[in-house]
Amino acid sequence: MSFPDRPLTAMIDVAAGPPDCMAYERAGGWEAVRRALKNLTPAEVVDTVTRSKLRGRGGAGFGTGQKWSFVPKEPASERRKYLIANADEMEPGTFKDRLLLEGNPLQLVEGMILAAYAIQAGHGIIFLRGEYHLACKRLDQAIAEARHEGWLGENILGSGFSFDIHVHSSAGRYICGEETALLTALEGRRATPRSKPPFPQTGGLWGTPSVVNNVETLCNLPHIITNGPEWFLALGTGTDGGTKLYGVSGRVCRPGTWELPIGTSLREIIEDHAGGMLPGYGLRALLPGGASTAFLDVTALDVAMDYGSVEKAGSRLGTGMAIILDDRTCPVGMIHNLEHFFAQESCGWCTPCRDGLPWVERLLMAIEAGTGEEEDLEQLDRHARMLGTPGRTFCAHAPGAMAPLASGLKLFREDFAEHITQHGCPLQHAARSLERGRDDQHSY
């Protein structure tokens, strides 16, 4: 028996498309479901996953086994429960789940069966980002196939456990990625986050016990059941177990996503896998795990990309998908772009987020456009302070939005000041002249 070192992506061949049910089985698929449904009790599945120390891959990093442990233990036949795959991948700069959804949808199906069996949920829902049309098509196909082959439906493998999956294509909005807003949206209501308690595990979708897991988290499950928690733990380089899909976007030679042992250093990801910066561009700073993580500068390149290390460095692992700020792009412009996104995606429920983020956006727009004033920086600082602490806004959206702003105000203080004193963006002129230079080259 072979123990893969890149379990999540082993079967993915972008050119060939996703494996069908037969190919999936030939490559070792369905082994975990067979084992779990025939040999393991739901409690044993939970225990195995807990021992693997698998943590949520959506960004928050909560222990998956622990999350499941709060679900009431009645069998699926006795109580309606839901397992929901959070496939609403809308974090700017993040495209890891897409790879898993498009590349090997059956792996997600198998992971969901395992998770559902563990928590004894009879109903599965994939909450899919609305724009993921190809993923939607492939998921529908994979689910139909799995259903046809008896992996989904009544009494799977004669175990008495029944489970099926419905794909819900989102109507849009970033906030749906927040697990409680996702539930509210599924109920057909405004996607507004909910207060806890009740936690989804006890009072989730339509008030019934529900678990929301990220796609990548779920895709790890078949491999943990098949190969054991010890194998999974050993895959990581630090305290966390398993592999992680890392990615880089920005002006690097090979933007993309790669499955690497969790805890791989930023330097290795950027230099070895992304091929380093494009010629002529220097690395200025980066957002290590998506738009809602704080900037790290070049001094942090040797930080291991695991949950604890990135936090110690002053940011968060987030989705593990880094966005690079190069030395020719204006940090104020970048932050304005980010805050535009966050302001637009505020659900409008709580005051500080709804009316504070647009103010931040307007300030940044003014500064970038050259109409910034001295006091604007005070206002930005004040917003970063007042919105940045969790608990002041209803959910984590505004604190997430403040992460790049607060860190950016520290790291790029001089850039901000220059914008105000020079009444405009110094780098924009440089960028324009570079564009002109390129145009000249092309047109010779």
Q: Is 386 in the site for other proteins (CB under 8 A)?
A: yes
Q: How would you list the strands of the sheet with 164-169, edge to edge?
A: 164-169, 123-128, 82-87, 210-214
Q: Is 374 in the site for other proteins (CB under 8 A)?
A: no
Quick note: the x/- pattern for other proteins over 306-345, rule CB under 8 A, is -------------------------------------xxx
In the region spanning residues 42 to 101, those forming contacts with other proteins, defined by CB under 8 A, are none
Q: Who's near 77: CB < 8 A, 6+ residues apart?
A: 122, 160, 162
CB 395 within 8 Å of CB 346: no
Q: Who's near 408: CB < 8 A, 6+ residues apart?
A: 295, 331, 334, 335
Which of 375, 432, 435, 438 forms a contact with other proteins (CB under 8 A)?
A: 375
Q: What angle do CA 392, 407, 172 make, to 5 degrees?
A: 60
Q: Is 402 in the site for other proteins (CB under 8 A)?
A: no
Helix (H, G, I), strand (E, B) or coil at 126: strand
Distance CA 390, CA 281 (A): 36
Strand partners, 324: 286
Q: Is 396 in the site for other proteins (CB under 8 A)?
A: no
In the region spanning residues 127 to 156, those forming contacts with other proteins, defined by CB under 8 A, are none
Distance CA 181, CA 189 (A): 9
What letter does residue 237 receive in the DSSP assignment? S
Residue (392 or 410) nearer to other proteins, CB: 392
- CA distances, 176 to each of 19, 127, 257 (Å): 29, 9, 23
Q: Is 160 in the site for other proteins (CB under 8 A)?
A: no
Q: Is 437 in the site for other proteins (CB under 8 A)?
A: no
Residue (35 or 392) nearer to other proteins, CB: 392
Q: How far is the CB of 107 from other proteins (least distance, A)?
A: 32
Q: How far is the CB of 357 from other proteins (least distance, A)?
A: 8
Q: How far is the CB of 97 from other proteins (least distance, A)?
A: 24
Q: Is 198 in the site for other proteins (CB under 8 A)?
A: yes
In the region spanning residues 203 to 222, those forming contacts with other proteins, defined by CB under 8 A, are 203, 206-208
CB 133 within 8 Å of CB 239: no
- H helices present in 40-178, as ranges: 42-52, 64-69, 96-103, 105-119, 133-148
What letter does residue 207 receive in the DSSP assignment? G
Q: How far is the CB of 70 from other proteins (least distance, A)?
A: 12
Distance CA 219, CA 399 (A): 29
Q: Is 177 in the site for other proteins (CB under 8 A)?
A: no
**Burial class of 6 by CB neighbour count within 10 A (0 to 12, 13 to 18, 19+):** middle
Q: How many residues lie near other proteins (CB under 8 A)?
A: 41
Q: How far is the CB of 383 from other proteins (least distance, A)?
A: 9
Q: How far is the CB of 380 from other proteins (least distance, A)?
A: 12
Residue (308 or 358) nearer to other proteins, CB: 358
Residue (195 or 441) nearer to other proteins, CB: 195
Q: Is 188 in the site for other proteins (CB under 8 A)?
A: no
Q: Is 370 in the site for other proteins (CB under 8 A)?
A: no
Q: How far is the CB of 275 from other proteins (least distance, A)?
A: 38
Which of 362, 424, 426, 428 forms a contact with other proteins (CB under 8 A)?
A: 362
Strand partners, 247: 257, 321
Please report, as ranges, the residues that interact with other proteins according to CB under 8 A: 173, 187, 190, 194-198, 202-203, 206-208, 343-352, 354-359, 362, 366, 373, 375, 379, 382, 386, 389, 391-394
